[in-house]
């Protein structure tokens, strides 16, 4: 079932990028940065593969992704700024954001300040939700968007570059295909285990919050 969900998600991402080009990349990354768990780990590598195919430019792919991160983050920022913590706690469960995650992110933001936005953009999962505590803290918007762009660009570039190199290896080195097929089952198992752990940890945290 999970494999089917991932396949549908991947097809959706591929279709949007294929149809929308750079705007499609920006749109998908905006969705991810608006606290919707749409994985940039699929969005940007596929974009990088299209760089290898000659459709896109690597620098512009990374830039489109970073612009999308800013657009989506603006939505999450305003939710935090105007809805405050109560609104985030109320609706965060719909994107698997529990009170524990919010507490941890908020403490980190309070301790290290604005630079947290830059650092968080370089980290998986955390990067999706960091705009919420920034909005709650009412971080200056110009600084927020500068740090968001500066942190998002290398993340997008690295993933797109990996996708580009993956495409090159796939087409030029037959050993790559052989190794991929040999370890495909292992990759799937680890992927499913990671998703299962993520869901279990969040649901467990939600149960603890409800009991308290």
- pLDDT the model gives residue 42: 78
Which comes out higher in pLDDT, residue 112 or 158? 158
Q: Which domain holds residue 32?
A: 2-168
In a domain, 91, yes or no: yes
Task: Report the distance separating Cα 89 and Cα 198, nearest Å.
Answer: 18
In a domain, 187, yes or no: no
Number of domains in the chain: 1
Residue 126 phi/psi, 5-degree rounding, is -55, -35
In a domain, 157, yes or no: yes
What kind and span of H or E run contains 160?
Answer: helix 141-172
In a domain, 196, yes or no: no
The residue whose two tokens read 């740090």 is 147
pLDDT digits (tens, 9 = 90+) for 70-128: 999 998 888 888 877 776 666 665 555 666 666 767 777 777 777 888 887 887 767 77
In a domain, 59, yes or no: yes
pLDDT digits (tens, 9 = 90+) for 31-47: 888 877 677 877 888 88
In a domain, 183, yes or no: no
- Confidence tier at 190 by pLDDT (50, 70, 90): very low
* pTM given for the model: 0.73
Q: Which letter, b or e, does each residue of 68-101 get, where b requires 16 or more Cβ atoms within 10 Å of its Cβ?
A: bbbbbbbbbbebbbebebeebbeebeeebbbbeb
In a domain, 61, yes or no: yes
């Amino acid at each position: 079932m999970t494999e089917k969900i991932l396949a549908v998600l991947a097809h959706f991402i591929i279709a949007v990028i294929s149809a929308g080009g750079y705007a499609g990349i920006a749109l998908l990354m905006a969705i991810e940065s608006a606290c919707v768990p749409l994985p940039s780990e699929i969005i940007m590598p596929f974009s990088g593969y299209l760089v290898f195919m000659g459709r896109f430019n690597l620098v512009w792919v990374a830039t489109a992704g970073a612009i999308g991160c800013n657009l989506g983050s603006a939505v999450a920022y305003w939710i935090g700024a105007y809805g405050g913590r109560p609104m985030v706690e109320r609706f965060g469960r719909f994107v698997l954001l529990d009170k524990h995650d919010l507490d941890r992110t908020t403490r980190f933001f309070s301790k290290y300040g604005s630079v947290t936005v830059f650092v968080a953009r370089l980290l998986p999962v955390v990067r999706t939700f960091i705009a919420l505590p920034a909005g709650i803290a009412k971080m200056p918007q110009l600084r927020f968007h500068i740090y968001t762009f500066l942190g998002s660009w290398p993340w997008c570039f690295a993933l797109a570059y990996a996708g580009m190199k993956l495409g090159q290896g796939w087409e030029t080195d037959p050993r790559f295909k052989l190794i991929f097929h040999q370890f495909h089952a292992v990759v799937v198992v680890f992927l499913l285990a990671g998703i299962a752990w993520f869901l279990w940890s969040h649901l467990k945290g939600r149960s603890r919050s409800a009991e308290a």
